[in-house]
Every structure is written in structure tokens, then in C-alpha cells.
Amino acid sequence: MAHRVAIVGTGAFAKIHADALLRHEKLALAGFAGARPDSSKELAAAYGVRPYRNLAEVLDDNSVTGVIIATPHDTHLAIGRAVLEAGKCILIEKPLAITVAECDLLIEAERQSAGRAMVGHLMGLAPAHVQARILIEKGVIGDIVTVDSRRMLFWNGEERRPWQKSSREGGGMWLIQGVHVIDQVSFLLSRRAEAAYGVSETRFNPEQSADDFGLAHLRMGDVHVNITIAGTGRREEEVHTQLYGTRGNLRVSHRGELRVDTGNGWEDRLEPVTDHWKDMIDAEMDCYVDLIEGRSVSATLDYGRYIVAVLEAVRRSAASRREEAVL
């Protein structure tokens, strides 16, 4: 019997997760709970499932095993704690929360719960990243010396929802996109950052309070990682990570790029992938099944806390103008 899962939230990622649930043989979509009853009814009608009036109705539904939280970042703590207190298994969209202190509260809630939790960090599930890590572990480009990761995206302030432009509500490039970059470099290098020197500013969209530009230098053991993120008004985008090793270079993007240069020019090393985005989301659903059925997962709440801790180190560094430890 499939595990019944309710989705809290009715935005774009609620629909993405709903489609993935329908594709998975071990999961079933139970319904939606939105901030407004009308939004729940509209989306539930489109999928032929139950429109929950509120979170309490989801938690009272004993047929629901799991809950996916796809809501604005500043709501993750309250909703996550309530779901865990009800003993259900949750998938919380990234980031886990907007501060380390909030992450710690969710970790404690999981410890006291019969349910389990994971965070929606996807970059370690991207087919191109998985293939790249295999090549790295085989030593194709030797020992990694430095990494340059860039995520420069089109950011149209008029189309962005208000919370995405609000620092208080957990918006901005670092919490929306920077978490992905930290996740992917941590996965590719199989290690965590120990310290950060960073910048967090609002340069392209001065009308918003949240950041739209960031730089970071992360120390990850003996590897130096440089990150650039920006949300601009231009549609030309840069989304890739380049690793420089003692025997060659590797360039990868979760959107479908994997090239290696060991001295004779760039060579395409990407194995065939039908749909990079769909495969990544489907792999996340496989992990969610593992969580519900009691098996281990990599995107634990501790890992989600680590990602937020790196962001906090970057922000402390932006204020102090010196390197800050990842705590």
C-alpha cells in the first residue's frame, strides 16, 4: 500500500512535488493545505484530491503518513514542529529554517517525535553531479585544489512573491539559491566547510530588503571554494561549478553539463539522462520513501543545519570583514 502524503503549501514547488508523488509507486497524494482555503480547493480540484482547510486537518488525518512542507522559509519552524509532534514524517523544502537556532529547535522536535524528517537538498541527487562525483573519486582530475561555483540568475522583482524579497521572511539569494550552491560543492567534495569569508548585499534590486548578491570563500579542508550568486534583471544565466585539480579540470551543472579537461581540451563526459530535473525530483521521492520506511537518508536535519550554519558564517563575515567559523 502506498504511503499517503499531504502537501502544505500551494505554490510552484507544491505542484512539482505533487506530480512526483503521482509518478511514484510507493507514494500517494492525499491533498493540499494552503494559507488560504481557496488556494487549497483550486489545487486539490486540479489533482482530484482532498482540500484541507488548515494544517490541523492534515495532522488529524490518520491516513496521512507523511507531510511535505513547501511554504515560505519563515514558516518552516512552526509547521515542522507541529507535524513532528503529530508523529508524521516530513520532507521540508530547503532551507531547513532561516537561522541555526530554528534548525536546532527542529532537530530537538525530531528527537522527541515518532516521526522522522529530511530536508529537500537536491543537488546530491542531480544526475550530472552524481556522475561528476564518481569521476572525482576515481581521481580523473587528481587532487582538488580549488573550486569556482557560480549561480547568476534572472530575478524579476515584479514576478517575485513578496516574501522572496523580504529579509525578515527568509527571502533573498543566499537562502533561495545560495543553499543549493553550498549543497552541491559539499556533495561534490564529500566534505563540509569549516570557515567562510563572505559578502551579502542588495545591489540589483534596491527596492527589496533581502540580498540579491553574494560572494563567499569557503575553507573545506585543503580545498578553497569560491562562490558567486546573484539575482539580476538579465536573462543571461550562469549556473555551473568548475573544479581545478592537480591533473585536470571538471565543469558540471545540474542542468545537464559534465565536461573534463585533462590537458587535451574539454571532453563531454555526461552519460545519457532523459530528464535531469525530473530524475532529480524522483530521486528525492525515493529518499522520502526510505525515510518513511525507516532507512537512512543523507539530507538529514543535521545536514540542513550545516547548510544554514554556513550561511550564518557568511553573514557574520559580511559584517565583521573577517573569516568566520562555521558553528
Asked whether residue 163 falls in the same domain as residue 188, the answer is yes
Same domain, 80 and 187: no
Structural domain harbouring 267: 124-273+308-325
Positive or negative torsion for Cα 180, 91, 105, 296: negative
| pLDDT one-digit tens code per residue, 70-113 | 999 999 999 999 999 999 999 999 999 999 999 999 999 999 99
pLDDT digits (tens, 9 = 90+) for 293-319: 999 999 999 999 999 999 999 999 999
Specify the pLDDT at position 122: 96
Phi-psi region of 326 (alpha: psi -120 to 50; beta: other; left: phi over 0): beta
82: CATH: 3.40.50.720
- In this structure, what CATH number is given to the domain that contains residue 252? 3.30.360.10
CB 64, CB 90: distance < 8 Å: no
Nearest partner of 252 among 121, 144, 155, judged by Cα: 144
> Same structural domain for residues 246 and 177?
yes
Q: What is the pLDDT of residue 36?
A: 85
- CA-based nearest residue to 269, from 124, 133, 145, 122: 133
Q: Percentage of residues in the chain with pLDDT exceeding 70?
A: 100
Q: What angle do CA 121, 126, 297 make, to 5 degrees?
A: 45
Whether residues 152 and 248 share a domain: the answer is yes
236 and 130 in a single domain? The answer is yes
Residues 88 and 21 in one domain: yes
Name the one residue in this structure whose C-alpha cell is 502506498: 2
> How many CB atoms sit inside 10 A of residue 38's CB?
11
Per-residue model confidence (pLDDT) at position 107: 98
- The number of distinct structural domains making up the chain is 2
118 and 96 Cβ atoms separated by less than 8 Å: no
260 and 130 share one domain: yes
| Banded pLDDT at 159 (limits 50, 70, 90) | confident
Question: Does 82 lie in the same domain as 140?
Answer: no
Residue 57 shares a structural domain with residue 108:
yes
pLDDT of residue 158: 75
Q: What number is the average pLDDT over the span 246-251? A: 98
Cell readout for 118 is: 529530511
Looking at every residue in the chain, the average pLDDT score rounds to 96
pLDDT in tens, 211-236: 999 999 999 999 999 999 999 988 88
- Residue 146 carries which side chain, given as an amino acid letter? T
pLDDT for position 156: 77
